[in-house]
Structure 1
Amino acid sequence: MKSFDEVNILDTRFHKVTVDQLIDYTVEAAQLEKKTIVGNVNVRAMNFAYDLQWYRDFLNNADLVFCDGFGVLLGSKLLGYSVQSGHRMTAPDFIEDLALACEKQNISLFLLAGSPGVVDKAITKLLSIAPRLRIQGHHGYFEKSGEENDSLIREINKFKPGILYVGFGMPMQERWILDNLSQIEARVFLPLGACLDFYTSTMYRGPRWVTDCGFEWLTRFFTEPQRLWKRYIIGNPLFLYRIFRQRIAEGAMTKTQPNL
């Protein structure tokens, strides 16, 4: 498998990959006799990783981590990394390309996400552009432990997906993957949050020019202010504060190092 350059900020790393590289990597991994975790980071993930050791370990131990947030790119640039806008991608924009690549390579896809009905809409939409795609799904509203969880795992294992997309939101989806990884017969584990809600237009993302400029969070905030105010109004400035604190600390460290 191809390796990619890493960016490490706030003790959490991600890889400098483009969307085409991400899709190629995921499809190739789905053909190997091993389990692969492909994670992603945005500002919210970075804040979770800062506070939760297990979550930071999940990202730092994942086989590949892509960037899904302009805020993370900004933080990386502030810390001196050379990253481009092409190193950021968001799942609703590439899920159809992933489905087409899976169809071409005969890779099966299992969607585990969303409220009842959303997965069915997503499957219908994906089959309209990739009619030979082997795909199944189940909604994400189930008990994450006990018999209901065990029954769902049996359903997944019967299908034996090349790629298992898990969308419960952070950090629940990553915790579920860790707790059930050894029991699930899938090749690639891909936590992608609310991707299907946006892909099926169940949830409003805002105009394309807004999402392309990195202000999708603003649309989401005004759509659901009571639920999301803490995530954005507190979370975004907190992330930048931590970035500037790291930058100052690294600058101070550089000044104290002796000249050789």
Structure 2
Amino acid sequence: MQKFSEVKVLNTRFHKLTVQDLINYIVEAGKLDKKTIVAHVNVRGINFAYQLPWYCNFINNADLVFCDGIGVILGAKILGYEIGSMHRMTCPDYIENLALACEQHNCSLFLLAGSPGITDKAIKKLQAIAPNLSIEGHHGYFDKNGSGNDSVIEKINRFKPDILYIGFGMPLQERWILDNLDKIEARVFLPLGACLDFYTDSVYRGPQWLTDNGFEWLTRLITEPTRLWERYVVGNPLFLYRVFKQRITQGMIQNCPDKR
């Protein structure tokens, strides 16, 4: 498996790679007889990692971590990394290319996400462009403990997917992976949040000129202000404050004279 250089923002790391690198890694991992976790970070995720040790450990111990947020790219640049927009990727933009790669490499895909009906819509769309893709799914609105959870895991294990996409949102999807990793017969665990909601047009992403330039969050804030104001109005400035604080601390350490 290809190795990628690491970027660390607020003690949370991700890898410097392109979307094609990501797709290649996922399908290659899907053929290995081992369990692989492919995680992602955005501003919200790094804020969670800053506050929740278990979440920080999940990200930092994942096999591969990609960046899904222009704010994280900005933070990395502030901290001195050479990195650009080509190193940021968001699932609705590449999920069809991933499906095509899975079809080409005979990798099966299980979608576990969204409200009832969302996965059915996504499967229909993906099969339209990749008709030979082996794919199944189940909605994400089930009890994550007890018999309901066991029933969903049984369905996954009957299919034995090479790639399991989990979309419950942060940090629930990561916690669910940790709690159930040993029970699930899948090779790649891929938490991707609300990707299917956007891919099936169940949730409005915003105009392409905004989404292509990293301002998808602005559309979400405008359309769902009550639910998302804290995530963006509080979370984004808090992230930047912490990044600038780290940058200043780094500068002080670098400029400190050696007293030996």
1:194 paired with 2:207, answer no
Matches within 5 A, 1:97-116: 97-116=97-116
Q: How many residues align?
A: 260
The 3-state SS of whatever aligns with 2:236 is: helix
Aligned to 2:11: 11
AA of the residue aligned to 1:6? E
Q: Which runs of 5+ in 2 are unaligned?
A: none
Partner of 1:149: 149
3-state DSSP class of the match of 1:170?
A: coil
Cα-Cα RMSD: 0.9
- Partner of residue 228, structure 1: 228
Cα gap change, 1:102/1:259 in structure 2, threshold over 3 Å: closer, same or farther?
farther
Q: Which residue of 2 aligns with 1:75?
A: 75
1:23 aligns to what?
Answer: 23
Distance, in Å, in 2 between the alignment partners of 1:137 and 1:103 is 16
Q: Percent identity?
A: 68
> d(CA) in 2 for partners of 1:257 and 1:196?
53
Tell me whether 1:256 sits opposite 2:256 in the alignment: yes
Q: Distance in 1 between matches of 2:148 and 2:103?
A: 30
- Deviation string 1:140-171 (CA, Å, 9 cap, x unpaired) is 00000101101110110000000000000000
TM-score, normalization by structure 1? 0.99
Equivalent residue of 2:13, what SS?
Answer: strand
Name the counterpart of 2:61. 61
- State how far apart, in whole Å, the 2-side matches of 1:231 and 1:259 are: 44
Write the deviation string for residues 203-230 of structure 1: whole angstroms up to 9, x where unpaired: 0000111001111000000000000000
User: CA shift at 1:50, angstroms?
Assistant: 0.2
Q: Following the alignment from structure 2 to structure 1, what is the Cα–Cα distance between the partners of residues 139 and 120?
A: 9
Return the TM-score normalized by structure 2: 0.99
The Cα of 1:19 is off from its aligned counterpart by 0.3
Moved over 4 A (4+): none
Letter in 2 for 1:47: N
What is the CA deviation profile of residues 48-72 of structure 1, one whole-angstrom value per residue up to 9, with x for unaligned ones? 0000000000000000000000000
How far is 1:255 from its partner? Answer: 1.3
Structure 2 Cα separation of the partners of residues 104 and 214 of structure 1: 30
Deviation (angstroms), 1:18: 0.2
User: Is structure 2 residue 239 aligned with structure 1 residue 239?
Assistant: yes
Provide, for residues 210-252 of structure 1, a one-character-per-residue CA deviation record: whole Å limited to 9, x for no partner: 0011110000000000000000000000000000000011111
2:171 is matched with 171
Question: 1:21, 1:70 → 2: CA distance?
Answer: 18
Could you tell me which amino acid in structure 1 is paired with residue 2 of structure 2? K
Residue 259 of structure 1 deviates from its aligned partner by 8.7
